[in-house]
Chains A and B, each alone.
Chain A
Amino acid sequence: MNYLERKMSEFKRPDGRKVDETRKIIAKVGVVPNADGSAMFAFGKTVAIAAVYGPKNMHPQHEQNPKQGTLRCTYSMNSFSVQDRIRPGPSRRSMEISEITTWALSPVVMLKNFPNTVVDVHINILQADASTRCAGINAASMALAHAGIPMKDLVTSISIGKLDKQLVVDVNKKEEDWEEGEGATDIAMSFTGSGELTHIQLDGHISNEELKTAIELGRATCKKIYEIQKKALKEAVKIEEEEE
């Protein structure tokens, strides 16, 4: 971790954060009353909500798996979540992120006892300031737990950036578009609570050594976020008890 410590004090981030500091995180469950489980997760101005429906019969029928249930995540962005309006409906990008999200969450979801069913996870980005897929995965993981889907663990996701030569945690849009020096490298990654890596994506260029540090930094940050997710889930249960 020497590399990181050496650089930490010198670097100024556009919004004044420390290099290992995330934006303000808000995590909440139960935001969509219709859903079997739902959650909201925000990194500063990036806001994602997720709703879980299922397990329910899989349609179309030919996609049914008689051995176990299927997890199906769909990611979509609101047309006004970004500065230049995006056309509503699926795009190549959103379809890829949907699949990536499904892969990130599958290792913890236990659907062996639900053959021929599907668990639908719908993720909607209300407002985007980079790291939307990470916020989406975090919300989805909480929503699944809130829905009472059997899970081995939660999944926590974070983006690590390399701005010029400096590693930073939780990249925002300004940082994503960093052009000085070596430019920006964006590494999105997700870990289970026990530290298994379930998703990683990288755009940019980075040395092997630095990438190792980035992954360590991601793991350390995810540990903290994991606690926030857990706390939000526990609070929801508490409120429900009081109401009874």
Chain B
Amino acid sequence: MIHTTRVTAERIKQYLKEGKRFDGRKPENYRKIEIEKGISAHAEGSARVKIGKTEVIVGIKMSVGEPYPDSPDKGNLITTAELIPLSSPRIELGPPKFNSIEIGRLVDRMLRESGFIDFKGLCIKEGEKVWTLFVDIYSINDDGNLLDAAAIGAIIALFDTKIPKYDEESDKILYEEPTDEKLPLSKEFPLSITIHKIGDYFIVDPTKEEEDISETRVTIGGYEEIVSSMQKGMEKSLNIEEMLKVLEISKKVNQKLRKEIEKYI
């Protein structure tokens, strides 16, 4: 198993003491973000997101199916993340590992809990037919922070989505004939921001090396003022003061990141 060496780990920690990072960034800065949308001809919506050397692609597929019994007038959302071995020497072939399951679930909850998607608007016939949204995330190059990249990709791809024509009589989706109709999304979009703690210091958007030596992390999904989903990961605990600081950082970063992403919508 490839892992960051102790020498590198020590150096990263030493740098953080001086408020610096390996690549010259400040603790609360993201690497350069590049976004492309409409990258896939067969997906209803798609996006490619690069954060530094990290790259993910996200595609949205839509199909028509039955609603769940407890939400007869609401569409469905299924989010999957595939961390493919192509994207890193650390990822082995085989069934999905915890990492990819967690990314899928966290992006799913960010989308669902934030109220970003109006699921009622995805209902075709109550109790019988609703749209199912598949948000599929693929890693292309993993250099840390796949999670936040995946979340941005999902948002952009959803905004990019055009609903295909659905013929109710034959129960067929005419994928060749996309309508101009967009998904029922709210104008304000949620973001997912993961804050890592290394030693006594907090950083966002870790590179792979930083991710390796991170002791604990908190992923916060939502808007500038509102937190709609959250999860702490890894073993080390936080005290209340630290948790409040995390929330403060998340708010600040959310504000800044939002401006950068807005122009792609």
Besides the known contacts A80-B61, A83-B42, 20 further A-B residue pairs in the complex with CB atoms under 8 A apart: A33-B141, A33-B143, A34-B142, A35-B86, A49-B140, A56-B89, A74-B85, A74-B93, A78-B138, A79-B61, A79-B82, A83-B176, A84-B175, A88-B136, A122-B85, A124-B84, A124-B138, A126-B39, A126-B40, A129-B41
**Stretch of B52-60, B148-156, B250-258 at the chain-chain interface:** B52-60
Q: Does A32 contact B (CB under 8 A)?
A: yes
Q: State how many residues of chain B have any CB contact under 8 Å with chain A.
A: 33
Q: Does B228 contact A (CB under 8 A)?
A: no
Are A83 and B175 within 8 A (Cβ)?
A: yes
Q: Does B88 contact A (CB under 8 A)?
A: yes
Are B57 and A32 within 8 A (Cβ)?
A: no
- A-B pairs with beta carbons under 8 Å apart, 29 shown: A32-B141, A33-B143, A51-B87, A56-B89, A78-B40, A78-B57, A78-B136, A79-B134, A80-B40, A80-B42, A80-B46, A80-B59, A80-B134, A80-B136, A81-B40, A81-B59, A82-B42, A83-B42, A83-B175, A84-B175, A85-B61, A85-B136, A89-B95, A120-B85, A122-B85, A124-B138, A126-B40, A126-B57, A127-B41
B43 neighbours in A (Cβ, 8 Å): 80
Q: Does A223 contact B (CB under 8 A)?
A: no
Q: Does B216 contact A (CB under 8 A)?
A: no
B85 neighbours in A (Cβ, 8 Å): 53, 74, 120, 122
B86 neighbours in A (Cβ, 8 Å): 32, 35, 49-51, 122-124
Q: Does A70 contact B (CB under 8 A)?
A: no
CB within 8 Å for A88 and B80 given contacts A79-B59, A80-B46, A81-B42: yes
Map CB proximity to A onto B30-68 as digits: 1 under 8 Å, 0 otherwise. 000000000111110010000001000101110100000
Q: Does A18 contact B (CB under 8 A)?
A: no
Give B93's nearest chain A residue, CB to CB.
Answer: A74
A56 neighbours in B (Cβ, 8 Å): 89
Q: Does A76 contact B (CB under 8 A)?
A: yes
Map CB proximity to B onto A20-46 as digits: 1 under 8 Å, 0 otherwise. 000000000001111100000000010
B174 smallest CB distance to A (angstroms): 10
Q: Does A163 contact B (CB under 8 A)?
A: no
Map CB proximity to B onto A113-132 as digits: 1 under 8 Å, 0 otherwise. 00000001011101111000
Are A33 and B80 within 8 A (Cβ)?
A: no
Give A90's nearest chain B residue, CB to CB.
Answer: B93
Q: How far is the CA of A78 from the CA of B88 in the complex (A)?
A: 17
A45 neighbours in B (Cβ, 8 Å): 41
Residues of A at the B interface (CB closer than 8 Å) are 31-35, 45, 49-51, 53, 56, 59, 74, 76, 78-85, 88-89, 120, 122-124, 126-129
Q: How far is the CA of A197 from the CA of B42 in the complex (A)?
A: 33
A129 neighbours in B (Cβ, 8 Å): 41
A38 smallest CB distance to B (angstroms): 8
Map CB proximity to A onto B81-125 as digits: 1 under 8 Å, 0 otherwise. 010111111001101100000000000000000000000000000
Are A127 and B141 within 8 A (Cβ)?
A: no
A85 neighbours in B (Cβ, 8 Å): 61, 63, 134, 136
Map CB proximity to A onto B123-139 as digits: 1 under 8 Å, 0 otherwise. 00000000000101010
Q: Which 7 A-B pairs have the closest CB atoms?
A: A80-B59, A122-B86, A80-B43, A85-B61, A51-B86, A79-B136, A83-B175
B175 neighbours in A (Cβ, 8 Å): 83-84
Q: How far is the CA of A88 from the CA of B94 in the complex (A)?
A: 12
A124 neighbours in B (Cβ, 8 Å): 84, 86, 138
Q: How far is the CA of A49 from the CA of B55 in the complex (A)?
A: 13
Q: How far is the CA of A50 from the CA of B84 in the complex (A)?
A: 11
Output the residue of B59, B92, B143 with the most chain A CB within 10 A: B59
B143 neighbours in A (Cβ, 8 Å): 33-34
B41 neighbours in A (Cβ, 8 Å): 45, 127, 129
B61 neighbours in A (Cβ, 8 Å): 79-80, 85
B96 neighbours in A (Cβ, 8 Å): 89
Contact partner, B53, options A33, A83, A88, Cβ 8 Å = A33
Are A34 and B57 within 8 A (Cβ)?
A: no
A34 neighbours in B (Cβ, 8 Å): 53, 87-89, 141-143
A63 smallest CB distance to B (angstroms): 12
A128 neighbours in B (Cβ, 8 Å): 42
